[in-house]
Structure 1
């Protein structure tokens, strides 16, 4: 009887994990502050949902999955600018039938000269003999405008917290907890975000306008004052309520205005996210990388 029960659990786990493994690549480009070699600091936040991995029994009431992630950044001519292989070992479970298995995430910061690249991420389920590999590619263009500009907007799962730490998850004096894939699940009431303003005119207060919208025309707006910092990027952190916005994709626009009456558009950027209120908001477990 115990054997049949164990077999049933194994079959249920296999049925739940019949699809290929998944990998999410969230990329944010920030300017390298080194004035000698112009370029960008690229943050790659990699998330592997462990729901899509096969769990193997390692001991009585002990199941574990394993995945290998390969990250490549290719130059325009196809040559390699960056290559790394990372092995992920999610926590051991005593029951693979549980509904929520927290995804594994890690973040890499890579300095690159300006130019055009291709980011490629591959995840391989180590316990599958067939159908256990998935590859995702994204174009990556690095360039720094001469005038005022806003870096990529990072969507966060919780407010940016003041931090004096110096690790991969700290930037601009804040500790950032990213929303994997820009997705906000059940219980999420706000969109939190972080970005940086460069080359802003110093000595005058600016106005920041936030605009949150969805394809059906639903929208929310807010304004805030901003005082540019001299000699370094000016951080922009905030939040917008999701409120009655429907499920599905949304776009967050961040615009900075200056000049007489703060009516002249100086810089703007956008980020695209997803609201999925019927899904549980899983917590990403940062891997030690």
Structure 2
């Protein structure tokens, strides 16, 4: 099938009301899947925007009630400058009783888009509603390619929790009936000692057994920091779901590459995909972000 070209590095532009450097508040992630309608030349792109709540400005809204807010504009721009998609959403973290609290949850918004084959720029702009003159802009090249009849993997979704069946009404956080709790930016921080992932294998032979191997390795290292393996059977009439987990308890801080491979019973490599993982056990991060209100 699919969308083989990887996303290119993110380009950040930060516009501040003061000259002091600030931590980026907006994080963009984009994951590409095959369109279930194989007649359409293009793919499904899930855009996941996260605002770091700990850097937002909280104002008093009542007795022991402090609230922050962020206006996030997401755009997918064609090469000619026109917008294939544009939307502005208001994200508000939970109300705090004490603004000195160290725990300030991030807030997230996820949009599922169907885009024709082509090259785009994914752009996010965040404005702190309680801080005039602060704008955080993120731009990221996005490539969507046509389906192919060969076995292929979707992008890998990094998760904070195992993908699980949910009785909750279907929403943009679900894929193939599974609820997915994203690890924004591929970050695994304090207390997050398990890495989980989700991916889809396309054009697999129905009923055939495939081996899924996955490994975590730091750049320029000769040995893997963690490895895992599973077996799946090719699904009929739908993508074959691949999931797995790795123990990060003994993985030191740093940047890593997660490589996911699918192989036949004869150990023939069918498809491979990678994702960037950031391990920082000293940084605090909540277990998961919330839906926008």
For the aligned pair, the TM-score class normalised by the smaller chain equals 0.7 to 0.9
1:241 alignment counterpart: 247
Classify the secondary structure of the residue corresponding to 1:181. helix
In structure 2, the CA distance between the partners of 1:61 and 1:243, relative to structure 1 (3 Å rule), is closer
Paired residues, number:
270
User: How far apart are 1:97 and its partner, in Å?
Assistant: 0.8
Q: Give matches, 1:64-79, under 5 Å.
A: 64-79=67-82
1:9 alignment counterpart: none
1:176 alignment counterpart: 180
In structure 2, distance between residues paired with 1:78 and 1:69:
20
Larger Rg: 1
Q: Deviations over 1:111-168 (max 9, x none)?
A: 11111111000100122223x1010011111113331100010000011112355221
User: How far apart are 1:46 and its partner, in Å?
Assistant: 1.0
Contact 1:208–1:256 under 8 Å retained in 2: yes
RMSD: 1.9
User: Does residue 1:166 correspond to 2:137, yes or no?
Assistant: no
In structure 2, distance between residues paired with 1:163 and 1:90:
24
The answer to which structure, 1 or 2, has the higher relative contact order (CA under 8 A, 6+ apart) is 2
In structure 2, distance between residues paired with 1:285 and 1:241:
22
Runs of 4+ in 1 over 3 A off after TM superposition: none
User: How far apart are 1:63 and its partner, in Å?
Assistant: 1.6
In structure 2, distance between residues paired with 1:203 and 1:62:
56
Among 42, 45, 51, the alignment partner of 2:45 is 42
In structure 1, distance between residues paired with 2:266 and 2:27:
38
Classify the secondary structure of the residue corresponding to 1:51. helix
In structure 1, distance between residues paired with 2:103 and 2:279:
18
In structure 2, the CA distance between the partners of 1:21 and 1:249, relative to structure 1 (3 Å rule), is closer
TM superposition score normalised by structure 1: 0.88
* Larger helix share, 1 or 2: 1
Q: Deviations over 1:212-260 (max 9, x none)?
A: 11134451222221210112110001111124221111111111112xx
Q: Give matches, 1:1-289, under 5 Å.
A: 19=22, 22-130=25-133, 132-143=134-145, 144-163=147-166, 165-215=169-219, 216-219=221-224, 220-258=226-264, 261-288=265-292
In structure 2, the CA distance between the partners of 1:213 and 1:59, relative to structure 1 (3 Å rule), is same
Uncovered stretches (5+) of structure 1, i.e. residues with no partner: 1-16
Q: Deviations over 1:62-91 (max 9, x none)?
A: 221111000000112211100001112222
Contact 2:92–2:292 under 8 Å retained in 1: no
Between 1:214-223 and 1:120-129, the stretch displaced more is 214-223
2:17 alignment counterpart: none
In structure 2, distance between residues paired with 1:30 and 1:241:
26
1:6 alignment counterpart: none
